[in-house]
C-alpha cells in the first residue's frame, strides 16, 4: 500500500494512481513483423508489462515442427519469459479446429504458458484462407476453434482469444464474444474496431464495455491507448482494468511507466541507448544485414513522438549500411548527451 498520512488529501488523481498501481494489468500486444523476441526483450527490460503475446504462428493442416515455435518464441528456451522475467504466451492463427488444437498442445508442451488465438488479423492472404478477422463473420466457427483448443490444452493453461468488433460491421460483436466465452476461453482481448475500420481512429472502447457487461470472463481493452490520459479514458469507457498496448510501445518505449506513473516519454538520449542495444543484439545474432530495415521501421514509429527520430530517419532513409547508420546514431547520441 502507498502510505497515506492523516494529513494527506486523497485527491481524485491519487485515488486513480492507487487503483492503477494495484489493479491494472498491462499486456504487450502481438505485432507480426515488429514485436519479435528482441523488441520484447528491450521493451520488457524498461517497462512493467504483465504479459507478452507473440506474433502469430500460422496453422494450416499440419502439426508444425518445433523449430517454428522456437523461431517465433525463442523465450520457450528460457522458461517462456523475456530476459527480465515477463511471461510470453504464444499466439496461433488458423481455422482448422483439429490442427489448431494439435499445435496448441505442442506449444504448451514446449513451454508456452497458455495459448492465444488470433481472430483479428486483417491481412488479405490470411483472410482468404479463412484465418484471422474473417472468422468474425461466423460465431459458430469461433466456438468450434476455441472449444477444440480448450478441450485439448490441459486445464491449468489459459486459452485466450483476441478479436476485433467485427469484419465489415459490428453486428456480431456480442454473439462472437459469447461464443468465445461459451467455448471455454479464459480471457478475451478486444481491439475496438472492425476489420474494415483497420487502424483508423477512433477505437470504439464503449463496445468493449458492452462486451464486458455481457460475459463473465476477463476482458482486455485494446486500441489507441497512447498515454496515461488515454488509458484512463479507455478504462472509464470500457470498465476494463486490463489494457493491451501495441503501437504506443514502439512510439514511446517507456509506455507502462507513462501509464502507471503518469509521466512523459523517456528522453531521446535514452531512446538512442535502446536503439544501440538493438544494434548490438542484431550484430551478435547474425541479423546485421537486416538491421537498417528494422531500425527504419522502428524510427517510423518513434518519429510520431520524437522530432529527433524524424531527423535521424531522414538522414539514414537511403542508407543500407549498418555501420554507417551506427556512426550516425553515435553522433546523435553525443549531441543529445
Query: Phi and psi dihedrals of 55, rounded to 5?
Result: -55, 155
Q: Is 31 among the residues that bind ligand FMN (CB under 6 A)? A: yes
Q: Is 300 among the residues that bind ligand FMN (CB under 6 A)? A: no
Q: Is 120 among the residues that bind ligand FMN (CB under 6 A)? A: yes
How many residues form the binding site for ligand FMN (CB under 6 A)? Answer: 22
C-alpha distances in Å from residue 59, one per residue of 63, 74, 129, 181: 8, 18, 11, 22
b/e for 82-113, b at 16 or more Cβ within 10 A? Answer: beeebbbbbbbbbbbbebbbbbbbbbbeebbb
Q: Which residues between 137 and 196 bind ligand FMN (CB under 6 A)?
A: 162, 191
Q: Is 94 among the residues that bind ligand FMN (CB under 6 A)? A: no
Q: How far apart are CA 230 and CA 236, in angstroms?
A: 10
In this complex, which beta carbon is closest to ligand FMN, that of residue 224 or of residue 308? 224
Q: How far apart are CA 236 and CA 190, in angstroms?
A: 15
C-alpha distances in Å from residue 288, one per residue of 277, 293, 328, 335: 13, 10, 16, 25
Is 234 one of the annotated active-site residues of the chain?
Answer: no
Q: Min. distance of Cβ 246 from ligand FMN in angstroms?
A: 3
Q: Is 222 among the residues that bind ligand FMN (CB under 6 A)? A: yes
- Out of 95, 103, 118, 254, the only residue in the binding site for ligand FMN (CB under 6 A) is 118
Q: Min. distance of Cβ 193 from ligand FMN in angstroms?
A: 8
Q: Min. distance of Cβ 131 from ligand FMN in angstroms?
A: 11
Q: Is 224 among the residues that bind ligand FMN (CB under 6 A)? A: yes
Q: Which residues bind ligand FMN (CB under 6 A)?
A: 29-34, 55-56, 91, 118, 120-121, 162, 191, 222-225, 245-248
Active site residues: 121
Amino acid at each position: 500500500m502507498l502510505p497515506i498520512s492523516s494529513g494527506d488529501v486523497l485527491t481524485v488523481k491519487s485515488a486513480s494512481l492507487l487503483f492503477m498501481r494495484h489493479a491494472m494489468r498491462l499486456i504487450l500486444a502481438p505485432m507480426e513483423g515488429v514485436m519479435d523476441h528482441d523488441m520484447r526483450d528491450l521493451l520488457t527490460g524498461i517497462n512493467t508489462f504483465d504479459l507478452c503475446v507473440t506474433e502469430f504462428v500460422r496453422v494450416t493442416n499440419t502439426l508444425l515442427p518445433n523449430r517454428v515455435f522456437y523461431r517465433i518464441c525463442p523465450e520457450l528456451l528460457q522458461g517462456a519469459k523475456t530476459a527480465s522475467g515477463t511471461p510470453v504466451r504464444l499466439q496461433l492463427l488458423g481455422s482448422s479446429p483439429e490442427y489448431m488444437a494439435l499445435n496448441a498442445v505442442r506449444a504448451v508442451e514446449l513451454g508456452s504458458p497458455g495459448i492465444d488465438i488470433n481472430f483479428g488479423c486483417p491481412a488479405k492472404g490470411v483472410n482468404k484462407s479463412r484465418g484471422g478477422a474473417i472468422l468474425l463473420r461466423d460465431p459458430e466457427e469461433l466456438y468450434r476453434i476455441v472449444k477444440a483448443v480448450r478441450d485439448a490444452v490441459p486445464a491449468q493453461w489459459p486459452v485466450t482469444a483476441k478479436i476485433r468488433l467485427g469484419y465489415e460491421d459490428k453486428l456480431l460483436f456480442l454473439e462472437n464474444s459469447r461464443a468465445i466465452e461459451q467455448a471455454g476461453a479464459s480471457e478475451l482481448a478486444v481491439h475496438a474496431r472492425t476489420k474494415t475500420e483497420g487502424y483508423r481512429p477512433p477505437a470504439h472502447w464503449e463496445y468493449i464495455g458492452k462486451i464486458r457487461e455481457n460475459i463473465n470472463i476477463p476482458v482486455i481493452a485494446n486500441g489507441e491507448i497512447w498515454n496515461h490520459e488515454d488509458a484512463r479514458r479507455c478504462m472509464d469507457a470500457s470498465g476494463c482494468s486490463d489494457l493491451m498496448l501495441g503501437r504506443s510501445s514502439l512510439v514511446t518505449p517507456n509506455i507502462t511507466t507513462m501509464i502507471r506513473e503518469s509521466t512523459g516519454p523517456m528522453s531521446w538520449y535514452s531512446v538512442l541507448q535502446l536503439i544501440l542495444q538493438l544494434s548490438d543484439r542484431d550484430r551478435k545474432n547474425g541479423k546485421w544485414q537486416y538491421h537498417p530495415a528494422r531500425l527504419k521501421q522502428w524510427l517510423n514509429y518513434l518519429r510520431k513522438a520524437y522530432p529527433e527520430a524524424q531527423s535521424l530517419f531522414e538522414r539514414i532513409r537511403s542508407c543500407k549500411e549498418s555501420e554507417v547508420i551506427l556512426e550516425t546514431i553515435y553522433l546523435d547520441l553525443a549531441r543529445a548527451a
